[in-house]
Amino acid sequence: MEAKQALSGNAYKRFFVKALESGARLQHRVLESGDAVVWKASEPWSDTEQTPPDNAVIICSGMRCPCHPRIAHNIQCAHEFCVAKKFELSKYQSRWYNKHTYAVHNPHHPRYNHSTNQGQDILTEFEDEDLDSNENPFDGISSNMAVDEDNEEPLEVTYPELLNLCTVLVRTVANDKKEKKKVYSIVQGMITRYRNERAFIVHFDDHLPISSQVDQDNNLNACQPARAITQSVTNSSKVGRKMSAREHIVRKKAKRGMNGTQLSQCSQADDDDHLGPPKSLSRNCRLCRLGGHGQFQCPSLLQYGSPLEKNNGILRAEVATELMKSTSYVNTNLAPDDERIVYGTLPAATKAVILHARYIKDEGQTFMLEATLLQVGGVPHGDYSKVIFNISAITKYLVREKNCLFVSQLKRSA
């Protein structure tokens, strides 16, 4: 806790924490001469042995550790921490102190400059007996703070009120680099004096000579309202406003879509000559994957005949019923030597069915259909070209959906 309060955040994490962790893995022995020998806890060294381990570090009596990290950074290394078993601030160079510790150990160091442009310090320090605790630290300024009429002491100031007042001060000098440095120096000086518990008062001199053009303008326009800011932004028209990430994305997309558009005022030509190519909203054919037509007007399908009407489920159900009637279409007897396989199902990649002929078998008791299946691209399937299917496989395909592609080349019976 003492190291965290005295050192800066970088020194505490970078040096002290590492020295604490590394020191826990070390052990030491103090010799009769006063020298300390530090070595790894994993390496044994008995009391009877006179020679220390090879990797041991010897810290001479009254001297600092000779290791490289200690010499490079001037800190309390892990070897010194192992011997001392405590944090020693004196072994750290002052550059590793935090602001409070540095100010305590260097009270006369000119760390901060609290002077104004005229070279006069408005923060004046006093001894405790020179400044009464009930006295207003702001000399010569009439305060608008509410006071109690009985004892003339200021009422309690809330944290939001004080924070709002500080915000107004920052906004007032936000656009003036010179005044921002002055306010920063004043506020930093007040914070330092408060933390060091040193009494002070703030004195404002309103009778200084006018040295800047801004002060001259304020003197001439004394009857005008008070300025909200010390300096306005000269390029305010060029400063972009805060935009959300969504607005950035929308604007970027809008600019990307206008890349092919030119202004018609560039020449006397028609506006149509300056517009980009129209965006095509049509989809490609689901059968052949080409553009310019749909799957029901695909040339790969129309070469076999006209397909059944689109979105007509009733027509497909009627065709499925007629396929199972013996008198609806012309039947052909299946040759006895026909050894083609009779398929009972259609493959999943079927895009269209082209029906060629209907065969009968077993003296008209069994109907079979010869068909060709089209796959993606509108080409016949290599394994299902003019093959034989059970009639149930074809009817299931017909009634499955009302947009299936089906072309019948069967001849109706007279």
- Summarize pLDDT for 9-41 with one digit per residue, the tens: 899 999 999 999 998 899 998 988 889 999 998
User: How far, CA to CA in Å, does 94 sit from each of 108, 120, 191, 235?
Assistant: 14, 30, 21, 44
- Summarize pLDDT for 81-100 with one digit per residue, the tens: 999 999 999 999 988 998 88
Confidence of residue 219 (pLDDT cuts 50, 70, 90): low
pLDDT at 222: 52
Other beta carbons less than 10 A from residue 389's beta carbon = 22
pLDDT at 134: 45
- Candidate from 82-91, 104-113, 254-263, 294-303 with smallest mean pLDDT: 254-263
**Strand-pair partners of 138:** 202
- Summarize pLDDT for 272-287 with one digit per residue, the tens: 666 666 666 677 888 8
Q: Is residue 145 within 8 Å of residue 154, measured between CB atoms?
A: yes
Cα 79 to Cα 24: distance, rounded to the nearest angstrom: 10
pLDDT at 142: 42
Instruction: Give the whole-number percent of the chain exceeding pLDDT 90.
Output: 23
Other beta carbons less than 10 A from residue 363's beta carbon = 7
pLDDT at 371: 94
Confidence of residue 74 (pLDDT cuts 50, 70, 90): very high
- Given its phi and psi angles, is residue 88 left (phi above 0), alpha (psi -120 to 50 degrees) or beta? beta
> Is the pLDDT confidence value at 352 over 90?
yes
Q: Angle at which helices 391-400 and 313-323 pack, to 10 degrees?
A: 170
**Domain ranges in the chain?**
2-97, 112-141+158-204, 295-408
pTM greater than 0.85: no
- Summarize pLDDT for 100-110 with one digit per residue, the tens: 888 888 877 66
- Summarize pLDDT for 200-211 with one digit per residue, the tens: 887 776 655 544
Mean pLDDT of the chain: 79
